Amino acid sequence: MRCPICQLEFLSSSSPALPFCSARCREIDLGRWLGERYGLLTMPDPEADEEPENDWAQKENSPPVSD
């Protein structure tokens, strides 16, 4: 049979994660399903938004230090 995720042909008797070829493909499918249902995978993480642009912007605007 053929894996719906990676399109790899495999023996159904050799797979631990039918109808997928492997547990990895099963997780990929599960992730897609959850992502479509909740949109979690496409949501930006607010905790990770530290606005790194501010850092270089401040340095850019500050006058150069001269000795």
Nearer to Zn ion, 13 or 62 (CB): 13
Per-residue DSSP letter, 46: G
What is the nearest approach in angstroms of Zn ion to the Cβ of residue 58?
48
Residues that bind Zn ion (CB under 5 A): 3, 5-6, 8, 21, 25
Nearer to Zn ion, 2 or 41 (CB): 2
Nearer to Zn ion, 18 or 34 (CB): 18
Buried b or exposed e, range 12-22, using 16+ CB within 10 angstroms: eeebeeeebbb
